[in-house]
Amino acid sequence: MHVLRSTVLAISVTAGALFAPSSARAHDMNATVKVEPTSVRVEVFFEDDLPAELAKATVTNSAGAEVAVGTTDERGVWTFPTPAPGEYTLTAKCIGHTATVQFSVAGSPEEPPVSYTGERLNKTVGLTIGVGGLLGISAVFWLLRRRHRE
């Protein structure tokens, strides 16, 4: 009876940890901006690398005036003509999430023509953490089972 209670408790704790509300954080949203001589390419994506399809993107200048507004395609990509040199802010919104990225457009030929900002998270890190967690839970169950057999 004691073994059954311990097993049920271990399974309940594990299930609770797996389905806790904190797991909803897996859908944070990020964006990257690549400035080229004739166009600016925006890519909006969720933390798990899924594209943010139909995200509303707005670009404002340093004074806060709207410079460009658009919507991402099925790949989470939106392009627009390169604006005048200066500092800009991209704000993308999709399904209650918001990503904001600062970027600049070069003003003279001496400056590099391409400015790439934003972070692309490494999918391998997330997979490693997930596999490590599953292996850890398996090890705990194996140790509990082995302990109760002795």
- The domains of the chain are located at 2-149
Look up residue 125 and give its two tokens. Answer: 């890190």
pLDDT at 5 over 70: no
Residue pair 32/43 in contact (Cβ under 8 Å)? The answer is yes
Q: What is the pLDDT of residue 101?
A: 94
Sheet strand arrangement including 29-35: 77-81, 39-46, 29-35, 115-117
Lowest mean pLDDT across 6-15, 17-26, 49-58, 104-113? 17-26
Please give the residue that has the higher pLDDT: either 106 or 18.
Answer: 106
Asked if the model's pLDDT at residue 150 lies above 90, the reply is no
Q: Is the pTM of this model over 0.75?
A: no
pLDDT at 128 over 90: no
Beta-strand runs (E) in 20-109? 29-35, 39-46, 56-61, 66-71, 77-81, 86-94, 97-105
Tokens of 37: 């001589």
Give the model's pLDDT for residue 24: 43
Q: What is the pLDDT of residue 142?
A: 84
What is the rounded average pLDDT for all residues in the chain?
Answer: 80
Given pLDDT bands bounded at 50, 70 and 90, which one contains residue 22? Answer: very low
The class of domain 2-149 in CATH terms is: mainly beta
